[in-house]
Amino acid sequence: MHLNRLTIYGFGHFHDRTFDLTAGLNYLLGANEAGKSTLTQFITAIFFGFPTKKHPALRYEPLDGSRFGGEIAFTQAGVDYLVSRTDGPHGGKVTLHDTTHDLALPAANLKRLLAPVDAQLFTSVYAINEPRLGTVFAASKQELIDRLRHVGAVGSDFWLQQAQHLEQAAETQYKPQGRNPLLNQQLRDHRELTAKLAKADAAYETYWQLLQQQQTLRNTQTATQQTLTHQRAVTEQVTQQAALWATYTEWQRLGSDEQAAVSGFTADDATRLEQLRGQVSASNQTLAQDQQHLQDLQQDAQLPPLFQAYLPVASQVDPLLMQLPEMTQTANEQQQLAASQQDLEARSAALEHQYAINGQMPRPFSLATTQQVTALQERLTAANQKRRRLQQQLNQLNERFQQQQPSRRQQRNPLADKQIIWLAIGLVVLVGSMFLPGTWFKLVGALLGVAIGYYGVFLVDSSTPASRELETLTADIRDSQAQLREGGQLVDDLNNQLDTIATAHGLGDLPVDQWSAAQGAIGEWEQLTRQLEDTGSRLAKAQQTVTTYLTQVTQALPTLTGEDLATIAPQLTQLQTLKQSLQHQEGDLATATARLKADQAAVDTARQQLNTFLSTRNLRSVAAFYQRYQAQRERTNRQQQRAALAEQLGDNLAALQQFANHAALTDQLAQAQAQQAATQQRLDQTTTQLATLAGQLAHLTASGTQATLRQKLANLETQMIATTQDWLVKRLTSQWIAATLAAASGDRLPQIVAQASNYYGKLTENRYTEIELTATTLRVRRAAGDWRDVSQLSRGTAEQLDLAVKLAFAVVLNQQVTMPLVIDDGFVNFDAQRRQAAYALLAEISQTLQVIFLTADPAVEQLAAGNLIRLHE
């Protein structure tokens, strides 16, 4: 099996994430809290089910509330499957689909596809992390063998459980050195019964006589006990009645002063009385409040000095009062504009300090100038770069020219001397041909002489390879120098154009690379200047409006001269409020007077209703009502107490009524107690006699009677035979199951140990060469030959041993179990060399098994093999 894709709906902090895996080695790289342990638990949960809500830390329910669950696409035996699991009962709702044949499969088939691996085997072998490394050392050899049997034979987990249960059941029946098992107890009881039977045979006759006497006394004891039980019941009943006599007397007393109940004094009547009293009190309180209000209105008729000054100029002040809210708002706006003006001035001054030249800010570029400057800068940059390249090229050519300069001897060309010789030979041949006989020979000789001279002068090359290379270098140097001069002229021209633009816009000595920032600052400065002009204009207008308003107010009301608007505004507001109040004062006085009359009428009505309530009950005061009401409550309480006492007495009430007084009840109790004491004495005597006979019988038959002992012995022997047969069946069945499973998987243990030894040597750089599995633990052999137990290893070395055993387990059983290895940061305690060895071993194992390695080690990015997935992407 290998996993192809993990799709997470919602699991931990993952939601709507997909991870594509390969059949070989997969690296999932992520820092702490990137989700490595979450992915390990996700694979386990989708295959084997979500933990219950009793273990919330292992469920990894989504933090963002998305749908809980996900799906895994995997391949097994050449068939592609897709399993999904979402939140639900019994480990979640599972769906299984055969994507190769497009078939929906029952969810129960998932367990068959994963068999024989269950959740426990997967987490202990195939899901490896640092905390789980080392758990194999706590296991015994038998537990490791059982784990092999679990994988080696399909369905062996059921037979292993059955064998274990049979073995435990057999041990509860018999152990060679045990005391508590059933068969051990039966053997011990058999020896004791045999000894008792031999002792009982000697006193058989005496035993039967004493046994007949004992039976007679037992019959007498039974009859006496029945009589005593009846007398105890009678005594207990009379005692209970005597104890209830005080309650009965109280019940009689409560019934002696019964009087008829009087109507009109119930709890509802008391509530009605309190309502009437509350109405009277509320009416009086309202009357007092309205009287005080009327007095306040009369006192408010006195006018303050400012209002008296207002009355003669009311026609002038009233329009100003209407303008007061607007002036208040204008004054607030004035303060805001002043603060804004200070801020704008500060920002403008900062820009002027940074860019102004002789107190004058540079002028901004137009769009055409901006494009021109950009083009000039680009051309200037390109020209400078070209000049630097040409200068480097010229320097290289000069160095080569200096290296190629020949010495004086080398400058002389031997072929140049030969040109003269060839020319001389040609002249000699030409002159000599003139002396030959015949015109034809003369002509041929003359042509030959000319040809020799031509060859010497024109065909013989006087230059050497070194001289030709020097000529080439000289030409290249001259060409480079010419290009440098042209580039310098271009740079000067471009700089002149930029200087012209700087002069035209007042940029002064500001570097060209700062022109862009300066243009932004110039634009901001111009905007600030416009804002300052607008703010100053608005501020002046607001100041003029407020000043004009204050002048008008002080002209109308001279008492306010010298005060600002913040001081005048509250006084004008109070003046306006007083004016409105005086307009309604006359109506308020009339209303208050009418309300006083209504309040007085309400008080009279409430008092009349209260008097009517008392007169209908022939009462003069409220206190008299509550006196009668309290007496009525006490009468009702006595009736309730008498009913409660009657319920407490129950059936004893009728019996107590039969006694004339307490003395008669006491006499009957004394008689019942005397009869009970006499019967108890007879019973004690009979019990004493039975105890004596029992002692004699116990002495004679300490081991029991013969028949009883023989029967017990026979029954015990039958039980022993049945127990022995049951023990043999369970013991032999358990041994047969163990032998059968051992035959199915016993040959794999040596393979796993040998493979683990090979892996352990690779992980430890051959420092440890062999692993031996003993009866109780593991031990390892060093390269020097000595053996060491696991307890003597360092933590990292011990974890490497556990890793080697688990990897060997998975590789050896790969034919029966095709599960991927999921390793969650299992190498944190390995040093650098052994961690690299572990990476190499995983790459080797991934040729046959899928390996999913989740780690925070960035070194895996440098590994050649494997599919790398970054969790943070």
Stretch among 144-153, 209-218, 487-496, 499-508 having the lowest mean pLDDT: 144-153
Give me the phi and psi of 177, to 5 degrees please: -110, 15
How many angstroms separate the CA atoms of 681 and 134, rounded? 77
pLDDT band for position 85 (cuts 50, 70, 90): very high
Q: pLDDT for 366-410, tens place per residue?
A: 788 878 888 877 888 888 888 888 888 878 888 887 877 654 444
Strand partners, 28: 854, 869
- Choosing from 588, 610, 645, the residue where a domain stops is 645
What is the pLDDT at residue 496?
Answer: 81
pLDDT band for position 149 (cuts 50, 70, 90): very low
- Classified as helix, coil or strand, 408 is helix
How many angstroms separate the CA atoms of 562 and 251, rounded? 95
C-alpha angle 81-84-87 in degrees, rounded to nearest 5? 165
In this structure, the strands spanning 25-29 and 69-76 are unpaired
Q: Is the pLDDT of residue 84 over 90?
A: yes
Q: Is residue 141 part of a domain?
A: no
Q: Is the pLDDT of residue 858 over 50?
A: yes
Q: pLDDT for 228-243, tens place per residue?
A: 898 888 888 888 878 8
Element (H, E) at 821: strand 821-824
pLDDT band for position 411 (cuts 50, 70, 90): very low
What is the pLDDT at residue 410?
Answer: 47
Overall domain count for the chain: 2
277 and 322 part of one domain? no
Of the two residues 677 and 749, the one the predictor is more confident about is 677
What is the pLDDT at residue 419?
Answer: 63
Which residues contact residue 778 at a Cβ distance below 8 angstroms, ignoring those fewer than 6 apart? 136, 137, 771, 772, 789, 790, 801, 805
Q: Is residue 385 part of a domain?
A: yes
How many angstroms separate the CA atoms of 141 and 796, rounded? 23
What is the pLDDT at residue 281?
Answer: 84
Do 799 and 134 touch, CB atoms closer than 8 A?
yes
Q: Is the pLDDT of residue 761 over 60?
A: yes
171-191 burial, b at 16+ Cβ within 10 Å, e below that, comes to eebbeeeeeebbbbebeeeee
pLDDT band for position 151 (cuts 50, 70, 90): very low
How many angstroms separate the CA atoms of 771 and 778, rounded? 7
Stretch among 134-138, 200-204, 781-785 having the lowest mean pLDDT: 134-138
Q: Is the pLDDT of residue 838 over 60?
A: yes
Q: Is the pLDDT of residue 157 over 60?
A: no
Q: What is the largest CA-CA distance in the chain?
A: 208
Of the two residues 248 and 166, the one the predictor is more confident about is 248
- Choosing from 645, 666, 698, the residue where a domain stops is 645
623 and 546 part of one domain? no
Strand partners, 854: 28, 824
Q: Is residue 233 part of a domain?
A: no
What is the pLDDT at residue 5?
Answer: 95
Other C-beta atoms closer than 10 Å to the C-beta of 535 total 21
* Amino acid in position 163: A
Question: Which three-class secondary structure string do you get for 545-612?
Answer: HHHHHHHHHHHHCHHHCCCCHHHHHHHHHHHHHHHHHHHHHHHHHHHHHHHHHHHHHHHHHHHHHHHH
Stretch among 288-297, 469-478, 619-628, 668-677 having the lowest mean pLDDT: 288-297
C-alpha angle 849-850-854 in degrees, rounded to nearest 5? 130
Q: Which two tokens stand for residue 393?
A: 């090229």
339 and 363 part of one domain? yes
Stretch among 161-165, 278-282, 781-785 having the lowest mean pLDDT: 161-165
498 and 393 part of one domain? yes
331 and 394 part of one domain? yes
282 and 397 part of one domain? no
DSSP state of 365: P
What is the pLDDT at residue 584?
Answer: 60
Strand partners, 105: 96
Whether the bond between 116 and the residue before it is cis, its omega within 30 degrees of 0, is yes
Q: Is residue 812 part of a domain?
A: no
Stretch among 141-145, 288-292, 611-615 having the lowest mean pLDDT: 141-145
288 and 358 part of one domain? no
DSSP state of 138: G
Rounded to 10 deg, the angle between the 204-243 and 662-700 helix axes is 160
Q: Is residue 364 part of a domain?
A: yes
- Taking alpha carbons only, the member of 792, 330, 377 closest to residue 547 is 330
Q: Is the pLDDT of residue 855 over 60?
A: yes
Strand partners, 75: 2, 80
384 and 499 part of one domain? yes
Question: What average pLDDT score do residues 625-636 get?
Answer: 77
Q: Is the pLDDT of residue 225 over 50?
A: yes
Q: Is residue 481 part of a domain?
A: no
Helix, strand, coil shares of the chain, percent, nearest 5, are 70, 10, 20
392 and 335 part of one domain? yes
399 and 497 part of one domain? yes
- Choosing from 588, 613, 645, the residue where a domain stops is 645
- Taking alpha carbons only, the member of 812, 823, 833 closest to residue 854 is 823
List of long-range contacts for 363-371, beta carbons under 8 Å, 24+ apart: 363/504, 363/505, 363/506, 363/522, 364/505, 364/519, 364/522, 364/523, 364/526, 365/505, 365/519, 369/501, 369/505, 370/519
Domain that holds residue 386: 312-405+491-503+512-558
Do 430 and 450 touch, CB atoms closer than 8 A?
yes
How many angstroms separate the CA atoms of 575 and 307, rounded? 6
Specify which of 70-79, 163-172, 778-787 reaches the highest per-range mean pLDDT: 70-79
Q: What is the model's pTM?
A: 0.39
Q: pLDDT for 549-598, tens place per residue?
A: 888 878 877 877 777 877 888 877 877 777 776 666 556 655 666 676 67
Give me the phi and psi of 770, to 5 degrees please: -150, 145
Q: Is residue 55 part of a domain?
A: no
Q: pLDDT for 93-110, tens place per residue?
A: 999 999 999 999 998 888
Q: Which two tokens stand for residue 74?
A: 């995997």
Question: What average pLDDT score do residues 56-75 get?
Answer: 86
Q: What distances in angstroms separate CA 757 from CA 376, 747, 768, one per listed residue?
A: 75, 17, 8
Element (H, E) at 25: strand 25-29
Q: Is the pLDDT of residue 136 over 50?
A: no
Question: What average pLDDT score do residues 705-724 get?
Answer: 78
List of long-range contacts for 684-687, beta carbons under 8 Å, 24+ apart: 686/217, 686/220, 686/221, 686/224, 687/221
Strand partners, 867: 26
What is the pLDDT at residue 26?
Answer: 92
394 and 322 part of one domain? yes
Q: Is residue 577 part of a domain?
A: no
Q: Which two tokens stand for residue 836?
A: 């690299």
Of the two residues 332 and 292, the one the predictor is more confident about is 332
How many angstroms separate the CA atoms of 308 and 233, rounded? 107
382 and 528 part of one domain? yes
The mean pLDDT of the chain is 78
Do 867 and 24 touch, CB atoms closer than 8 A?
yes
Q: Which two tokens stand for residue 229?
A: 């039980």
Q: Is the pLDDT of residue 429 over 80?
A: no
Question: What average pLDDT score do residues 160-166 get?
Answer: 67
